[in-house]
Structure 1
Amino acid sequence: MTAMTILKAKDLKKEWDGTPLFEGVSFEIAEGERVLLFGRNGTGKTTLLQGLQGRLAFEEGSVYYGLEREEWGVLDQQLETDLGVSVIEFVLAASEQLAGLKGRMELLADRLEETGGTDEAAVAEYGEAYDRYLLLDGYGWEAKAEKCLRHLKLEPSLWSQPYRQLSGGQKTRVQLAALLARQPRLLVLDEPTNHLDEKTMIWLEEWVRTYPGTVLYVSHDRAFIDRTATSVLELSPTGCRRYPGAYTQYREQKELELKTLESQHKKQELEKEKLLESIRRYALWFQQAHTAAGQNDFLRSKSKKNVSRLHAKEASLQRLEKNRVELPKAAPKLNMKLEGEDFQGDALVTLDDISLAYDGGPQLLEHFSLTLRRGDRLSVLGPNGAGKSSLLKLIAGAAQPTGGRLRLHPRTKIAYFAQELEHLNPELTILDSLLELPGMTQTEARTILGCFLFPREDVFKRIGDLSLGEKCRVAFLRLYFGKANLLVLDEPTNYLDIDTRERVEEALAAYPGGLVIVSHDRYLHTRVANRLLLLGRGQRPQFFSGTFEEYYAKERSRVLTPEEQAREGEMQLLQLRLAGLMSREAAGTEAEDRELLEEILAVQQAIQSKIKEI
């Protein structure tokens, strides 16, 4: 049975200021697929998603929609809401009908309070809205919304706060809670893993992987892609191509594709050389035979045989040129080699009995000690709020400990990459920021900027006007010239596309100095780290002497304790019981129906209690 087509795009074209961003974009997405929209930064992935949602118009092409827009669910990193919308209101608004009814009831309740309940029209209207809200199980929807918020570790103390005041990670989790509650048939997710800690990321992977509907998403997280995508849709300025499988399979297919093209191109070039040599030879034979024949008609006729052979070879050459295999133009790549000053000592930095806390806040670190040596590549892991960025600021000298002592070797030179990128001067152009360096010439600066993917006129852009990905590359320029022997990197690849991330990883892997890294990019940890520091809120820091891959495998294969196994078993029994109750038909009498409803609510509450225990 053929799966239903959810979305079908044909020959889409989008321009910005008269310049084509992409054109000839055609694809289909079938029900149940999990499709990654893939491409370098600037190819128009977010623009394409916005166009598919009807937020902007395409210059050319058409889109077929197999679902009504009410059946779509969208996670948008740039989403703006009304200033006063709270977290709980945002999630409840996932059901427009119920949110509208609830808002109407609240307005009518305010009016009745003002009039002391004497407004009969308002009383009648409130009663109608209330009956409709009950009929549509509005209170059940509220309970479900609260459950989804708790499931994503958003505590009730946050629910009344304005959505717009939340951190990036909290906003993402609130949007995910709204989608989890509604379960739309099509999910459209733009960078869903941004700002998420590892536990939430693992939960999101499993949720997307097992989602019963269809998923179209953009992500630069290769581990997330590998565990979720069923196919990759590669967007380019001239169209898009579909590749089955996830990121690893996509890379393998691209490499095979390139090798095949290179082989065909080489074969054609050899064939072309042979044809050109034959054409030259037949042309020479004809010229010599024609000259020798003079006015002898028999010899002149005989010499024309070489002409027909010459024309046949020329026709073969034309066919070869017409079907010529062109090698794909290599996209510009970041070209970066990080160098460090020679360091012959042992310890670059020593933290001894350190305490660290926010102003007036709880202790993030207490009696903490750490030594960073030449060759150490330390990845700092832990949930958001555990103090990872604060520790990096401490090591980089951007924050001071509340207790203990930090010692730097006299020859230690630190370069710090801050995820906020606030250390960049927004008023300077990219070129001017480089020309500030002693001895830097225009020619040398332009060459270096080309290596960092800033060609031609781009070098005159103000840093304040750059995209986040471009600002990241400017920040790496500072590391390039720093000649530091200790790099302290806080989310260095957050806003980079996958190709640029891989170039950065190569540079960091070859870097001779010490590294301390905080990142949500698990591929980066796998490629670079040889030590791990595990931080947790309210927990003692732990060190893991090994690679991220070894740690991750150990965590995934951890055996549950007997108590955890018992809780898991009880949870499964409760869920089976709830499924049985929910599948029962209405008994017919009001008393029996009420008894069934009460039993369902009791089982739901028991499940909620078990979730809190786990």
Structure 2
Amino acid sequence: MPKITINQMSYYYADFYNPVYENVTLTLRTEWKIGLIGRNGRGKTTLLKLLQGELEPTAGKISAPIDMEYFPYTSDCTYSRTMDRIKEHVGHLKSIEDTMEKIILENDEVRFDEYAQLQDQYLELEGYEMESKILKEMDEMGLDSALLERDFETLSGGEKTRIMLLTLFLRKKQFLLLDEPTNHLDEAGKDAVAQYLQKKKGFIIVSHDREFLDHVIDHVLAINKKDITIEYGNYSSWKDNKEKQEQYEFRTRERLEEEIAQLERSAKVSRTWADWGNTQKYQFASNGRANGVQTYMKQAKRSEARAQENIEQKKALLQNYEEAKALTIYQEKPEEARCLVKVENLSFRYPDACKDVIHNLNLGVHTGNRIWIRGTNGVGKSTLLRLLSGVVPSDQVAYASDIKIAVVTQEPSWQKGYVTDYFEDYQGNISYKNFLDLCEVFELPENFLDRPLETYSSGELKKVNIARALSEENQLIILDEPLNYMDTYFSEQLEKAILEYQPTLVFVEHDRWFGKKIGTQIINL
């Protein structure tokens, strides 16, 4: 099968001289189903864009015998019917059909040669079989074929995502680069995409959902602290191997560091003796050979070179060792348990809507609760969080006196300018100090305060948003899909912190692994 080769590839962002990759060499087979894993800010999306050709390596070369397509993609298609839109995205088939039909209707002999060329192109793209292929892909994706007759813009967000995804797989000879295709999909949508991708091959996928990755990949491409590795298996097998390696590195870390220190002391002594020997001259030395001191000087230099080589080898053993920093969750603990938010017979509908989004809901949020709000897309999960937080006021929602609520929204609230623009008197602000501590734990780049928010990756923006919320004084935390755009490391980091500090929180999250781990109560909408 064809191979994608990356040879001595380096890349950095020129505006900030931010090195992302240095001397990367890899070989990927085009039939693999690859999960791309790495901490936010390490260049997952950048790597996909380099493979696609949207970005050019600063040095080195990427060679691919196959075209690559990136997801999500923007559409400038003018066709509204979903079937027509899919066909247009698969090699402009609908435009070819329309042009061929126009030539026949007009009986334009001047354009008969053009018709023949278009027909050859149509046959090459398997245009005559395309509708049956689309129906097959719709069935495999778990979508009703009736959607094909509807206006694409009337479909739900999840339906659009799944249709855009299957459209890419209908294109011939493509290797797909899927960047977080499950963001905002509900659990049923994720299951459908997972079952669909199990039957496919030839893609790289970025996802924070560990359970999802386990079902769809057969290789893991990991962007580590100092290198990039490729390994056969799924997320769980990769994670198990990584933990074993980290346990070994942890056990040997102190020993290696002591050995390095000893070698460095030895190299220093050899260097000192060699320098001393170089200053000594033996007055009776013959011109035919060096005296004993000069011979020792050469031996000392060779000894230093061997020690230095050994030092570098041992340092290389530690280059990927990284110890995740513990996340602190700041929340005021009351002296006794109490009800913080009480919802009674809550019904809500948006203006001009024909039915309630939420109907006759009763709910109490008590100290220590970790309530998981579940449901399909469109049933009102985010609306309920906005009602609980007070962003959308309601007479049916009552709050404990002086309650402070920290809110993490789906989309980051800080998008433009600089982080410090959003803090008053930030130098003496305790929340700002907590915010910086959290940003350090989240491993944001050292220069993140000096960069405008417009240059942040989606994951970096989300981390800043979460750090902002968690640094505020609160008795209740509300999280709306906190894992979107985040890496698997962050998922585990947040999970461990919640289990350790046991804050009171209400959250929406489609990652079942995370929800089952931290939720103490489930509300199904």
TM range, normalised to the smaller chain? 0.7 to 0.9
Q: 2:204 aligns with which of 209, 213, 216?
A: 216
Please tell me whether the aligned partners of residues 23 and 238 of structure 1 are also in contact (alpha carbons under 8 angstroms).
Answer: no
The amino acid of 1:372's aligned partner reads: V
Please tell me whether the aligned partners of residues 179 and 206 of structure 2 are also in contact (alpha carbons under 8 angstroms).
Answer: yes
Q: For residue 506 of structure 2, what is the aligned residue in structure 1?
A: 516
Q: For residue 87 of structure 1, what is the aligned residue in structure 2?
A: 82
Cα distance between partner residues in 1 of 2:412 and 2:258: 52
Instruction: Give 1:83 deviation, angstroms.
Output: 5.5
Please tell me whether the aligned partners of residues 91 and 171 of structure 2 are also in contact (alpha carbons under 8 angstroms).
Answer: no
1:536-551 paired onto structure 2 within 5 Å = none
Please tell me whether the aligned partners of residues 435 and 471 of structure 2 are also in contact (alpha carbons under 8 angstroms).
Answer: no
Instruction: Give 1:34 deviation, angstroms.
Output: 1.5
Q: For residue 198 of structure 1, what is the aligned residue in structure 2?
A: 187
Q: Secondary structure at the match of 2:411?
A: coil
CA deviation string 1:68-109 (max 9, x = no partner): x3xx5x351243434656533331135427444313135447
Q: 2:3 aligns with which of 6, 23, 39?
A: 6
Cα distance between partner residues in 2 of 1:508 and 1:374: 14
Cα distance between partner residues in 2 of 1:175 and 1:99: 16
Q: For residue 558 of structure 1, what is the aligned residue in structure 2?
A: none
Please tell me whether the aligned partners of residues 340 and 512 of structure 1 are also in contact (alpha carbons under 8 angstroms).
Answer: no
Please tell me whether the aligned partners of residues 93 and 127 of structure 2 are also in contact (alpha carbons under 8 angstroms).
Answer: yes
Specify whether residues 183 and 427 from structure 1 end up closer, same or farther in structure 2 by C-alpha distance, changes over 3 A only. Answer: closer
Specify whether residues 452 and 185 from structure 1 end up closer, same or farther in structure 2 by C-alpha distance, changes over 3 A only. Answer: closer
Q: For residue 363 of structure 1, what is the aligned residue in structure 2?
A: 356
Specify whether residues 477 and 31 from structure 1 end up closer, same or farther in structure 2 by C-alpha distance, changes over 3 A only. Answer: closer
Instruction: Give 1:529 deviation, angstroms.
Output: 0.9
Give structure 2 stretches of 5+ with no counterpart: 271-291
Cα distance between partner residues in 2 of 1:481 and 1:446: 5
Please tell me whether the aligned partners of residues 24 and 238 of structure 1 are also in contact (alpha carbons under 8 angstroms).
Answer: no
Q: Secondary structure at the match of 1:391?
A: helix
Please tell me whether the aligned partners of residues 278 and 313 of structure 1 are also in contact (alpha carbons under 8 angstroms).
Answer: no
The amino acid of 1:202's aligned partner reads: D
Cα distance between partner residues in 2 of 1:315 and 1:519: 60
Q: 2:345 aligns with which of 339, 353, 363?
A: 353
Please tell me whether the aligned partners of residues 219 and 232 of structure 2 are also in contact (alpha carbons under 8 angstroms).
Answer: yes
Q: 2:483 aligns with which of 493, 517, 528?
A: 493
CA deviation string 1:305-333 (max 9, x = no partner): xx98x998996675343122112276696
CA deviation string 1:276-315 (max 9, x = no partner): 9999999xxxxxxxxxxxxxxxxxxxxx9xx98x998996
Cα distance between partner residues in 2 of 1:280 and 1:466: 44
Matched, 1:382 2:382: no
Please tell me whether the aligned partners of residues 52 and 63 of structure 1 are also in contact (alpha carbons under 8 angstroms).
Answer: yes
Instruction: Give 1:385 deviation, angstroms.
Output: 0.8
Moved more, 524-533 or 445-454: 445-454
CA deviation string 1:167-214 (max 9, x = no partner): 653442121231454575643322222222211211222222232x32
Matched, 1:172 2:164: no
How many residue pairs get aligned? The number is: 493
CA deviation string 1:205-228 (max 9, x = no partner): 2222232x3232222222222222
Q: Structure with the greater relative contact order (CA < 8 A, sep ≥ 6): 1 or 2?
A: 2
Q: For residue 397 of structure 1, what is the aligned residue in structure 2?
A: 390
Cα distance between partner residues in 2 of 1:45 and 1:267: 33
1:566-585 paired onto structure 2 within 5 Å = none
Moved more, 466-475 or 180-189: 180-189
Specify whether residues 264 and 313 from structure 1 end up closer, same or farther in structure 2 by C-alpha distance, changes over 3 A only. Answer: farther
Please tell me whether the aligned partners of residues 22 and 238 of structure 1 are also in contact (alpha carbons under 8 angstroms).
Answer: no
Cα distance between partner residues in 2 of 1:126 and 1:314: 77
Specify whether residues 380 and 87 from structure 1 end up closer, same or farther in structure 2 by C-alpha distance, changes over 3 A only. Answer: same
Q: Secondary structure at the match of 2:489?
A: helix
Specify whether residues 107 and 532 from structure 1 end up closer, same or farther in structure 2 by C-alpha distance, changes over 3 A only. Answer: farther
Please tell me whether the aligned partners of residues 266 and 307 of structure 2 are also in contact (alpha carbons under 8 angstroms).
Answer: no
Cα distance between partner residues in 1 of 2:191 and 2:42: 28
Cα distance between partner residues in 1 of 2:446 and 2:193: 41
CA deviation string 1:320-357 (max 9, x = no partner): 43122112276696764222223324322222222222
The amino acid of 2:10's aligned partner reads: K
Please tell me whether the aligned partners of residues 227 and 320 of structure 2 are also in contact (alpha carbons under 8 angstroms).
Answer: no
Cα distance between partner residues in 2 of 1:37 and 1:97: 30
Specify whether residues 41 and 85 from structure 1 end up closer, same or farther in structure 2 by C-alpha distance, changes over 3 A only. Answer: farther
Specify whether residues 438 and 247 from structure 1 end up closer, same or farther in structure 2 by C-alpha distance, changes over 3 A only. Answer: same
Specify whether residues 45 and 339 from structure 1 end up closer, same or farther in structure 2 by C-alpha distance, changes over 3 A only. Answer: closer
Q: Secondary structure at the match of 2:396?
A: strand
Instruction: Give 1:478 deviation, angstroms.
Output: 3.1
Q: For residue 342 of structure 1, what is the aligned residue in structure 2?
A: 333
Matched, 1:419 2:416: no
Q: Secondary structure at the match of 2:357?
A: strand
1:273-292 paired onto structure 2 within 5 Å = none
The amino acid of 2:522's aligned partner reads: L
Please tell me whether the aligned partners of residues 267 and 303 of structure 2 are also in contact (alpha carbons under 8 angstroms).
Answer: no
Please tell me whether the aligned partners of residues 353 and 405 of structure 1 are also in contact (alpha carbons under 8 angstroms).
Answer: yes
Q: For residue 319 of structure 1, what is the aligned residue in structure 2?
A: 306
Instruction: Give 1:394 deviation, angstroms.
Output: 1.5
State the percentage of identical aligned residues.
26
Cα distance between partner residues in 2 of 1:60 and 1:182: 31
Please tell me whether the aligned partners of residues 431 and 460 of structure 1 are also in contact (alpha carbons under 8 angstroms).
Answer: no
Specify whether residues 510 and 81 from structure 1 end up closer, same or farther in structure 2 by C-alpha distance, changes over 3 A only. Answer: farther
Q: For residue 448 of structure 2, what is the aligned residue in structure 1?
A: 458
1:287-302 paired onto structure 2 within 5 Å = none
CA deviation string 1:239-298 (max 9, x = no partner): 42122322222233233333444555544555577789999999xxxxxxxxxxxxxxxx
1:24-173 paired onto structure 2 within 5 Å = 24-30=23-29, 32-67=31-66, 69=67, 74-82=69-77, 87-96=82-91, 98-108=93-103, 112=105, 119=107, 121=109, 138=127, 140-146=129-135, 148-149=137-138, 151-153=141-143, 156=146, 161=151, 169-173=158-162
Q: Secondary structure at the match of 1:363?
A: coil
Cα distance between partner residues in 2 of 1:311 and 1:123: 84
Specify whether residues 410 and 21 from structure 1 end up closer, same or farther in structure 2 by C-alpha distance, changes over 3 A only. Answer: same
Give me the CA root mean square deviation: 4.2
Instruction: Give 1:154 deviation, angstroms.
Output: 6.2
The amino acid of 1:362's aligned partner reads: K
Matched, 1:232 2:220: yes
Cα distance between partner residues in 2 of 1:146 and 1:272: 63
Specify whether residues 398 and 83 from structure 1 end up closer, same or farther in structure 2 by C-alpha distance, changes over 3 A only. Answer: farther
Please tell me whether the aligned partners of residues 219 and 225 of structure 1 are also in contact (alpha carbons under 8 angstroms).
Answer: yes
Give structure 1 stretches of 5+ with no counterpart: 283-303, 536-614
Cα distance between partner residues in 2 of 1:363 and 1:443: 40
Cα distance between partner residues in 1 of 2:103 and 2:265: 92
Instruction: Give 1:419 deviation, angstroms.
Output: 0.8
Cα distance between partner residues in 2 of 1:269 and 1:395: 52
Cα distance between partner residues in 2 of 1:269 and 1:492: 38
Instruction: Give 1:428 deviation, angstroms.
Output: 5.3
The amino acid of 1:62's aligned partner reads: K
Q: Secondary structure at the match of 1:216?
A: strand
Please tell me whether the aligned partners of residues 435 and 442 of structure 1 are also in contact (alpha carbons under 8 angstroms).
Answer: no
Specify whether residues 59 and 494 from structure 1 end up closer, same or farther in structure 2 by C-alpha distance, changes over 3 A only. Answer: same
Please tell me whether the aligned partners of residues 152 and 177 of structure 1 are also in contact (alpha carbons under 8 angstroms).
Answer: no
Please tell me whether the aligned partners of residues 88 and 94 of structure 2 are also in contact (alpha carbons under 8 angstroms).
Answer: yes
Q: Secondary structure at the match of 1:482?
A: coil
Cα distance between partner residues in 2 of 1:386 and 1:122: 57
